[in-house]
Structure formats: structure tokens, C-alpha cells
């Protein structure tokens, strides 16, 4: 935190992982310690932080059309490409397996869905996202999914450190996750319906849910309007 490599929310999240591990061991060995109380006393204050989006032109010119990401390992670089044209979370993308990636369909797409030992952030996070532009290229290189990375925090830290050390952050608040905000803004700029945006982002829709949602073809039409090129 002192070197601004992580924020309080990251520290708190990792402390909770540690708490869960200690509770599991405590139960197994009948240790009479209330770990919830213990860890509640060391929780750090989190400041409300907004992640600004990268401008679409910046993503195209700096991340995709130049060699400025060449210092990253191949999978980390392809994760940036995949996020740029899907808007998916890092954890959702590295959680994909070969049977979630459909490259030979009429509309190539990925299916973000829960499986054993792999849950999603929310119930509405399950969705199919067409692959276009940079994301299609990324999964053509990785048809079986991301094999090197299994932890979203690890790959995020790797990429954000690279961004920082190579002057690829327009502001200190920018991060890899900012690409998700870029994606949403890019869809709004194209005047995509809010329902389409919510479905692509995996956001909860306001009001009651009716019908099956928009079909893949409709989502593909909107993504073709905003796709990045390589």
C-alpha cells in the first residue's frame, strides 16, 4: 500500500482468505479462537475509488496497435486483448475452459458460466459473449483457455505492475479493470440499448425479468460496431 501497488480493499480481501484458512484449521484442531472477532479488529479502512476508463483511442493505439505490451508474457498480453473486446472480468476470462470457448460456431463466442469449484460473482454474470476483433484473436491463440494463470489477483498484479513500470497508465487510478469501463462506455457511445449493455456486462437488470434475453446475433451486431482491430 505504501508504494501504491495495492489498495486497502485488496489487503482486506486477502486477510479474509487468511481468516477462512485459520478457521478451517481451528475447527479441525478444536482451537477456541473466534477468528471473526480477531480479524474484524484489523480491517483497513477502504476509500471509495472510481476506476476511470481508458479512452477507446488509447486502447487501440497504445495496447493493440503498438509493441508496448510486448514485454508481457503471451497469456497476460492476450488477456488485455480479450478484455478489450468482451468487457469481461479477469476472473471470468481465466476461468474459462476449452468447452466454454466456441470458435467454430457461426458466431464465435465464449460462455461464462459457473462450474464445480468455480463460482461467478453474481447469478447474472452467466452469459454468452460474441468474439470479435481483439478478443477473437486472443482466443484463436488460446483455444483451450488460459492455462498459465488460475488466479485473477496474480494476473491483475502482473499486468498492473507492467502498466505502471512502462508508463501505460494515463492516471494513477487506471488499471487493467479500467478496460471493463471502456467497454461499457464504448457501447453507450454507440447507442446500444441498456438491456444489451447489461447482458454483455453481466449486470443485474432493473425491474422484473421476462423472456430469455437478447440472442447472440443481436449482441454480435452491437459488438461489431465497436470492435477493436489488430
Residues 60 and 172 in one domain: yes
Residues 41 and 66 in one domain: no
b/e 157-168 (16+ beta carbons within 10 angstroms → b): ebbbebbbeeeb
| pLDDT on residue 211 | 47
Domain span at residue 171 reads: 56-226
Say which CATH number the domain at 99 has. 1.10.443.10
Residues 60 and 44 in one domain: no
Intervals of the chain under pLDDT 70: 3-5, 46-50, 204-214
Q: Point out the domain boundary residue: 49, 66, 88.
A: 49
Residue-wise pLDDT for 31-48, tens only, equals 888 888 888 778 777 665
Residues 93 and 43 in one domain: no
Residue-wise pLDDT for 201-223, tens only, equals 998 665 555 444 568 999 999 99
Domains in the chain, number? 2
pTM here is 0.78
Residues 36 and 132 in one domain: no
Residues 138 and 32 in one domain: no
- Give the helix ranges, DSSP H, for the chain: 8-28, 35-40, 56-58, 74-86, 90-94, 133-141, 152-165, 178-189, 194-201, 216-226
Amino acid at each position: 500500500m505504501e508504494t501504491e501497488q495495492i489498495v486497502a480493499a485488496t489487503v482486506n480481501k486477502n486477510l479474509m482468505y487468511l481468516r477462512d484458512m485459520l478457521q478451517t484449521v481451528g475447527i479441525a484442531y478444536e482451537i477456541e479462537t473466534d477468528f471473526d472477532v480477531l480479524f474484524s479488529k484489523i480491517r483497513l479502512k477502504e476509500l471509495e475509488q472510481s476506476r476511470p476508463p481508458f479512452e477507446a483511442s488509447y486502447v487501440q493505439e497504445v495496447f493493440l496497435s503498438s509493441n508496448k505490451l510486448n514485454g508481457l508474457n503471451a497469456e497476460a498480453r492476450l488477456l488485455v486483448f480479450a478484455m478489450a473486446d468482451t468487457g469481461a472480468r479477469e476472473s471470468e476470462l481465466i476461468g474459462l475452459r476449452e468447452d466454454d470457448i466456441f470458435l467454430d460456431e457461426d458466431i464465435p463466442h465464449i460462455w461464462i458460466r459457473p462450474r464445480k469449484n468455480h463460482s461467478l460473482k453474481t447469478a447474472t454474470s452467466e452469459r454468452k459473449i460474441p468474439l470479435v476483433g481483439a478478443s477473437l484473436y486472443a482466443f484463436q491463440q488460446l483455444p483451450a483457455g488460459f492455462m498459465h494463470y488460475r488466479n485473477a489477483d496474480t494476473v491483475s498484479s502482473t499486468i498492473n505492475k507492467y502498466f505502471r513500470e512502462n508508463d501505460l497508465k494515463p492516471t494513477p487510478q487506471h488499471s487493467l479493470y479500467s478496460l471493463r469501463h471502456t467497454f461499457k462506455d464504448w457501447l453507450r457511445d454507440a447507442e446500444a440499448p441498456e438491456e444489451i449493455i447489461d447482458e454483455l456486462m453481466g449486470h443485474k437488470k432493473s425491474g422484473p425479468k421476462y423472456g430469455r434475453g437478447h440472442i447472440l446475433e443481436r449482441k454480435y451486431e452491437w459488438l461489431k460496431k465497436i470492435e477493436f482491430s489488430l
